[in-house]
Every structure is written in C-alpha cells, then in structure tokens.
Amino acid sequence: MQSGEQCIRAEIQSAVENMSKNGNLYQEKNFCSRIQAIDDLEFEMIGRIDALMEDRDVFDEMSDLKEFAQRTKCKLESVNSKLFQQLRIKMSQAEYRGANLVKLMDEYVDNNPKEILQPDTIGYDELDIFINGLLSYQIIPGETKAREPEMIYYQKTPVRIVLELIRRAEFKPQDVFIDLGSGLGQAVMLVNLITGVHSIGLEFEPAFCRYARALAAELHLEDVEFRTGDARFADYTGGTVFFMYTPFEGKILQETLQKLKGEAKKRGIRIFTYGPCTPVVARQNWLHGVHEMKPESRGLGEFHSL
C-alpha cells in the first residue's frame, strides 16, 4: 500500500474505532449523535473504503476495514431498532398521545412545533428519521397500480410541515382531517396521535393503503382510517380540514378542487397545501389565502373557503 493510502486507512481505522468504543453513541437518548455517526459511516468512511478497494493490491486489507465499519454501523442501527420497538409498544398502549408525543420528540430530537418556521428552510432532518423509525419502519411496498400522467410519485411530507399544520389548524374535537394522497399514512397518523381528531387518508395506491392500515391497527389507532380511491370521486362527507402535498397536477387537480368547492357549499372547510400545488390553489376564487406567500415559497399554504 502506498504511503498516502496508508494514511487514509489509518485515519478511517481510527475514526471507526472511536465510534465503536464511544459509549455515548449506544445510549438510547443520544439519537441525533447516533444518526450522524451512522451517516458518517455509510457515506464517508465506507464510501472512501470502496474507492480505495478499486486498487486490487490493497483489496483484502481494505475489506477487513470495511467489515469493521459495517459491523459498527449495524450495532448502532440495532440500538435504534430496539428503541423504536419499545416506543411503538408504548404508543400502542396510548402512552404517547397528544402532548406526550410532542414531549417524546423533544426528548430525542431538537423539536419546537410552536415555533413559526421559516418556509424556505423546511426539509427532511433528524425529526423525519425519528418519526420514520416509529411510523414507517417496514419495507415500503412497490406500486401495484399504474399512475395517470398527472399523478405525482409518492413523497413523504416533512414532519415539521405536519407539525406546523397542526399548530395552525387548532383542531376542534368535531373536525375531520382528510389527507389527499396519504401515501404510507404518516401525516394522517401524526395528526390523530397529537390532536385526537378523526383522521382519514385517501390514497390511489392500494399497497400503500394496506401498509398504513396495518400500522394503524398495530398502534390501536381507532379513529384513523385509510381509503383507497381517486380524489376526484371520493366521499368527503364531514371533512373540515384537507391537506395536499401536491399528489397530482393539471386537470386532476382542477377536478379535485371543483369537488372540494362543492363540499365548501355545504360547510366551511380549510385546505392546507405543500409543494407546487399551492399557487394553483391560491388562484381559486372560492378560497381565501390566510397567509401571504411568495410564488417561490416552499412553505405551508393555508386557505379557507369563503
């Protein structure tokens, strides 16, 4: 091995050994530090080792180091797996609902759902990883039904966006929350877990619906339901708060908005949006935008029926 490669190997070896021996990383409460260590192992150290292994002269030596790094990563991941399993059991026993769930997020991740978030800084972070571990821990199923061209592929709503929706909506017990394009059901379950309101997920893909129903049943969420269907023809009876993370565009979006307009003639409704659908919703003359948003804004849109 050349001297430069020897230095790199020694550097990686030292870093992995430090992580392997760092007792703090194995304490459940140090979730964010552990996530950062797992990320460093996966993308920094193992990635650099793979690059060095292209040199066949050092392949065997680097293979041993890669195996060490992978074992360390697996040990750290197992801490998270056990943690989430324990927390899900408590969630199923209704221990983590309402304020208790918010406190749980505060305990493991820097989280302040009452803070007014800057719209252009919201994205995926450690809080999403934490909630994914609780609510999306199974392998995501493949799509079984062909999407129409105007239907958008599934993306999870950032958790901080869901928390901001909850803060703004100020749900009342009589409210009914409906997520159009609910995917694996994470937003629906979070709204119900924190607010207790009846929450419905409408999803085009049957496999995603089955996934969400199974988890809701495991957590004993009795006031949550997931329906398979097309938003243009769905039953929105009783819905008062609707959410769309741009599940579709074009004609499908326009037809769905017309459907919602019909519901607004029966009762006042509120619509929250995220993503490219927001400017389209903002142009509807039967809705009032509560917060002024710049065209390029990536924040949460809020609209009330007139």
C-alpha to C-alpha distances, 101 to 162, 166, 217, nearest whole angstrom: 14, 13, 18
Q: Alpha helices of 199-248 — where are they, by DSSP H?
A: 206-218
Residue pointed to by tokens 């719209």: 119
42: left (phi over 0), alpha (psi -120 to 50) or beta: alpha
Whole-prediction pTM: 0.91
Residue 115: its pLDDT value, please? 45
- The two tokens of residue 27 are 């304490």
Give me the tens of pLDDT residue by residue for the chain, a chain 306 residues long.
Answer: 456 677 888 899 999 999 999 999 999 999 999 999 999 999 989 988 888 887 777 777 788 899 999 999 999 999 999 999 999 999 999 999 999 999 999 999 975 544 444 445 567 999 999 999 999 989 999 999 999 999 999 999 999 999 999 999 999 999 999 999 999 999 999 999 999 999 999 999 999 999 999 999 999 999 999 999 999 999 999 999 999 999 999 999 999 999 999 999 999 999 999 999 999 999 999 999 998 776 666 799 999 999
- Write out the H or E segment, with its range, that includes residue 6: helix 3-21
3 state SS of 159: helix
The length of the chain in residues reads 306
Residue 295: its pLDDT value, please? 60
Which residue, among 193, 190, 234, 184, has the nearest Cα to 214 in the 3D structure?
A: 184
Residue 21: its pLDDT value, please? 95
Which CATH number, 1.10.730.10, 3.40.50.300, 3.40.50.150, 2.40.50.140, labels domain 104-305?
A: 3.40.50.150
The answer to whether 219 and 189 are in contact (CB under 8 A) is yes
- Measured from the Cβ of residue 112, the count of other Cβ atoms closer than 10 Å reads 12
Residue 2: its pLDDT value, please? 55
Residue 297: its pLDDT value, please? 67
Residue 104: its pLDDT value, please? 97
The answer to whether 226 and 182 are in contact (CB under 8 A) is yes
Angle (nearest 5°) at CA 175 between 235 and 92:
95
Q: Can you tell me the distance from the alpha carbon of 87 to that of 275, in angstroms, rounded to the nearest whole number?
A: 31
Residue pointed to by tokens 């949460």: 300
- Measured from the Cβ of residue 194, the count of other Cβ atoms closer than 10 Å reads 22
Q: Alpha helices of 145-231 — where are they, by DSSP H?
A: 159-169, 186-195, 206-218
Q: In the chain, how many H helices and how many E strands?
A: 11, 7
Distant-in-sequence, close-in-space partners of 60: CB < 8 Å, separation ≥ 6: none
Residue 62: its pLDDT value, please? 83
3 state SS of 115: coil
Angle (nearest 5°) at CA 300 between 299 and 302:
140
Q: Can you tell me the distance from the alpha carbon of 222 to that of 199, in angstroms, rounded to the nearest whole number?
A: 10
